[in-house]
Amino acid sequence: MMHNVMVKPQTAQQRFTFNTPEVDDLFPGFITGEFAVIYGSPSLTSLTSLLCVRAQLPTQLGGLSGNVIYIDCANTFQPEAVNRFAQQNHMNQAVARQRILNFSAFTAYQLTSLVMDRLEEKIRSVNAKLVVIADIASLFMNSAIPKEEVQRAYGQLVNYLSYLAEKHQIIIVATYPSQEGSIRNIALKEMTLSRANTVLSYFKSPYTQELNLEKHPTYMLGTAEPPSPNMTLANFF
C-alpha cells in the first residue's frame, strides 16, 4: 500500500547582515549559532555598534528580534554611535541603548569569570540574540600573567563562546583590533581565528579601506571595497 507523505520544506537559516550592498554582496550575513571574529583597524567599534542596533530590529526588517550583551574589555563602547545608528533605523535612541546590556571587564580574570560563570544565565534572562566581546584578547596581553595560564584560560574562553553560540542559537561576535606583533599576541590571535566559524578583517588607511571575508564554512571568500575612499564602511549603514 502506498501512502502520501507530506514533506515539510526545510526553513532557510536567517541571515543577519550589515545591510549595505557593498558588504552584503561579499558577506550575505551572520547565521545563528555562529561564533565570529572581526579583526583589524581600531574603527571596528563602529561596525559592532551598528550590529548592536540592528539586532534589536524585528526579523522582518533583517534584525534578530532580541536584546544584546556587550562585554567591553577596553573601554570601547560608544553610546553616540548607538544613537546615530538607532536614528538611521528609525528607533528610539534611549530604548536602543537600554536594550544593550553593557558589562566591563578590567582584568583577564574578570573576563573569564564573566563569560564562564555568568554569561549563559544572562543570555537566557535578557533574551539576548547577539553577544559582542570587544577587544577580546587585550586583557590577556598583561605580561604579569604566566604564558601557560594565558594559553589555558584563553583557550577555554574561546571554546566556550563557540559552544554557547551553538547551544543557544545566537550570534557571538568578538573583535580583535590590531596589536603589537608580540609572540603572545600572535598565539592568541591564531587561537581566536582558528576557533571562529567566521572571520572578517577590516583595514582602513587615509586613502583606502577594505573588508575581507577570510573564513566561512559556505560563503566564497573575497574582498569588498567601499566606493569612496573618503568614507568609512560605517557611513554606508
Average the pLDDT over 161-179 and give the result: 95
Residue 150 falls inside a structural domain: yes
Residue 15 falls inside a structural domain: no
Inform me whether the pLDDT recorded for 156 exceeds 50: yes
Inform me whether the pLDDT recorded for 236 exceeds 70: no
DSSP, collapsed to helix, strand or coil, labels residue 80 as helix
Q: What is the pLDDT of residue 209?
A: 81
14 or 16: whose pLDDT is higher?
Answer: 16
Residue 26 falls inside a structural domain: no
The reported pTM is: 0.89
pLDDT band at 235; cut points 50, 70, 90:
low
H helix or E strand, kind and range, residue 15:
strand 15-16
Enclosing domain of residue 54: 31-236
pLDDT band at 180; cut points 50, 70, 90:
confident
Distances (CA, A) of 21 to 27, 89, 228, 236, 237: 10, 16, 14, 9, 9
Per 3-state DSSP, the chain is made up of helix, strand and coil in percentages (nearest 5) of: 40, 20, 40
Cα 173 to Cα 134: distance, rounded to the nearest angstrom: 8
Residue 37 falls inside a structural domain: yes
Q: What is the pLDDT of residue 229?
A: 41
Give me the numbers of helices (H) and strands (E) for the chain, helices first please.
8, 10
Q: What is the DSSP string of 102-123?
A: EEE--SHHHHHHIIIIIHHHHH
How far, in whole angstroms, is CA 23 from its chain's centroid? 15
Residue 20 falls inside a structural domain: no
Residue 176 falls inside a structural domain: yes
Contacts of 135 (CB under 8 A, 6+ apart): 72, 73, 74, 76, 175, 176, 177
Residue 50 falls inside a structural domain: yes
- Tens of pLDDT, residue by residue over 64-107, are 999 999 999 999 899 999 999 999 999 999 999 999 999 999 99
Average the pLDDT over 118-123 and give the result: 97
**CATH of residue 147:** 3.40.50.300
Range list of H helices, 89-208: 93-98, 108-113, 119-126, 147-168, 183-195
Residue 18 falls inside a structural domain: no
pLDDT band at 166; cut points 50, 70, 90:
very high
Q: How many domains does the chain have?
A: 1
222-224 sheet: strands from edge to edge: 100-104, 67-72, 128-134, 171-177, 35-40, 198-204, 209-215, 222-224
Q: What is the pLDDT of residue 38?
A: 97
Strand partners, 15: 31
